[in-house]
A and B are shown apart, each in its own frame.
Chain A
Amino acid sequence: DAGVIQSPRHEVTEMGQEVTLRCKPISGHDYLFWYRQTMMRGLELLIYFNNNVPIDDSGMPEDRFSAKMPNASFSTLKIQPSEPRDSAVYFCASRPPDNEQFFGPGTRLTVL
């Protein structure tokens, strides 16, 4: 398996623009997690899905953030409109029940 795949790897955009981050989890993993990492706040859980259903989105910072998982092999995290304080590295991770969690390489987002 190729592991968790994220795209794009880097995104630079201007304030107010819409940003869409993409994730393909490892095949067979029932859980998918979206995290944000910054120097100040460390690693923060934004939202997670089980079998494509959102379970807990309490970590989503604002209504500007939304996430979807239309099928078992694809998820998106959207920010609309983006702001400079959204600049961070966004990670997607997946895991099967009862087992190891694997992370993608991350998307480095810069909002100017």
Chain B
Amino acid sequence: KQEVTQIPAALSVPEGENLVLNCSFTDSAIYNLQWFRQDPGKGLTSLLLIQSSQREQTSGRLNASLDKSSGRSTLYIAASQPGDSATYLCAYCLSGNTPLVFGKGTRLSVIA
């Protein structure tokens, strides 16, 4: 069964801290993995897409890594800000023609 686990379910950190969000998945033969952000009452916003041939992707203060052999991805947020407070979801697919399998997300609170 395809499954994505995100631990912890919730995280609270002081402003300025560097933090890591974890995502583990059951299939090693993934095609790509995507990280999303969801603000309360809003849709999902794509943050980063990592293809299976890549080990990491960076966008501003965000860095996502992918280790297929261990079935893990991490999202690193540098110098966290209150505006980073949101739920972060990871999702993967097994091919370009199959739907994403989503985790339940990590709810992040950055305290000023």
Taking a contact as CB atoms under 8 Å apart, the answer to whether B42 and A97 are in contact is: no
Residues of B within 8 A of A99 (CB): 49, 96
The CA of A108 and the CA of B46, in the complex, are separated in Å by 20
Residue on A nearest B95 in the bound complex, by CB:
A98
Q: How far is the CA of A91 from the CA of B34 in the complex (A)?
A: 17
Query: Which segment, of B16-24, B63-71, B76-84, B98-106, faces chain A?
Result: B98-106
A100 touching B89, Cβ below 8 Å: no
Q: Is the CB of A97 within 8 A of B99?
A: no
For chain A, the bracket of interface size reads 20 to 34
Q: Does chain B have a CB within 8 A of A56?
A: yes
Q: Are B46 and A101 in contact (CB under 8 A)?
A: yes
**Which residues B40-78 have CB closer than 8 A to chain A?**
41-46, 49
Would you give the 0/1 interface string for A69-98, flagging 1 where the beta carbon is closer than 8 Å to chain B?
000000000000000000000010100011
- Whether, in the assembled complex, B12 has its beta carbon less than 8 Å from a beta carbon of chain A, the answer is no
Q: Is A50 an interface residue (CB 8 A)?
A: yes
Q: Give which listed residue, A42, A98, A103, contacts B96 with CB less than 8 A.
A: A98
Binding site for A on B (CB under 8 A): 31-32, 34, 36, 41-46, 49, 89, 91, 96-97, 99-100, 102, 104-105
Known: A42-B102, A93-B44. 9 other contacts (CB 8 A): A31-B97, A42-B105, A43-B89, A48-B99, A50-B97, A91-B44, A100-B46, A103-B45, A103-B46
Give the 3 A-B CB pairs with smallest separation, nearest first.
A98-B96, A103-B44, A103-B43
